[in-house]
Amino acid sequence: MIKQSVFAVFAFILCAATQAAAQASPVQTWSGYALGMSPDEVRAVPGVTWGVLHNSRALNEYWIDSTNTRTIAGNPYNAQVFFAGGKTLSDVIYAYDNPAATRAGCDKSYLALLQDMHKTFGAFGPSKAKMIDRLEPNETVKIEDRKAAFGSAYSHRTQQVALSAGAPVTLSYAALAVKPLESGEEINVEMIADEATKICGLTVHIRAALPARD
């Protein structure tokens, strides 16, 4: 009788754990966070420690910055989470800035990050529409789709300025790959680099999936 009771309890716990795992989205399994969580629920997830809740009344934004880093594809990423109305998690951002990066080094780090995300979430695709910025009259932008050897594709943008004499000078370059998930989230893997300062910024941005784009 005791053995049967113990077995029944074990079966109940196993069933509950299985159901909880089934309800967790790929994003929550990978990061521990689910869109809609409260600030207290976010703080309770192990692995990242958080600072205070900030808010900008002018922008109507609420966010918390991490006080430690998470290693992704070999680089240390700081985390930042945003809350709609200060109450429900709407965005999760992991960011890494590499000072004095070469262009080749920045591209290599981006592809390593994208490959890491590809292994977890499947193939990503390009999105040209999101990469169009307002330009000055003497600026031009080139946006092209590229495919990585591991199967994901991304959009790559080069922004240049035409000088009065000589060849155009590159101002910045960027890359973007997008993965909408059936669970309702969208993951953007982004790179933006400034040619003058040599700073290379990489981000993983998780948010609610947007309508389909090009």
CA angle in degrees (0–180, nearest 5) for 21-67-80: 60
Region 110-137 average pLDDT: 87
> Which tokens go with 52?
């205070």
In this prediction, residue 164 has a pLDDT band, given cuts at 50, 70 and 90, of low
Give 19's pLDDT tier (boundaries 50, 70, 90): very low
3-state secondary structure of 212: coil
Q: How confident is the model at residue 1 (pLDDT cuts 50, 70, 90)?
A: very low
Q: Please, which residues have CB within 8 angstroms of residue 207's CB and are 6 or more apart in sequence? A: 35, 90, 91, 92, 185, 186, 188
Write the secondary structure of the chain as one string of H (helix), E (strand) and C (coil). Answer: CHHHHHHHHHHHHHHHHHHHHHHCCHHHHHHCCCCCCCHHHHHHCCCCCEEEEEEECCCCEEEEEEEEEEEECCEEEEEEEEEECCCEEEEEEEEEEECCCCHHHHHHHHHHHHHHHHHHHCCCEECCHHHCCCCCCCEEEEEEEEECCCCCEEEEEEEEECCCCCCCEEEEEEEEEEEECCCCEEEEEEEEEECCCCCEEEEEEEEECCCCCC
pLDDT of amino acid 20: 41
**Which pLDDT belongs to residue 212?**
55
Judged against a pLDDT cut of 70, whether residue 40 lies above it is answered with: yes
pLDDT category, 18, cuts 50, 70, 90? very low
- Whether the predicted model's global pTM rises above the 0.85 cut: no
Which of these, 189, 191, 188, 155, lies nearest to 172 by C-alpha position? 191
Give the per-residue pLDDT at 137: 72
Q: What percent of the chain stands above pLDDT 70?
A: 82
pLDDT for res 153: 97
- Which residue is it, tokens 């990489």? 202
Report the pLDDT averaged over residues 98-106.
Answer: 83
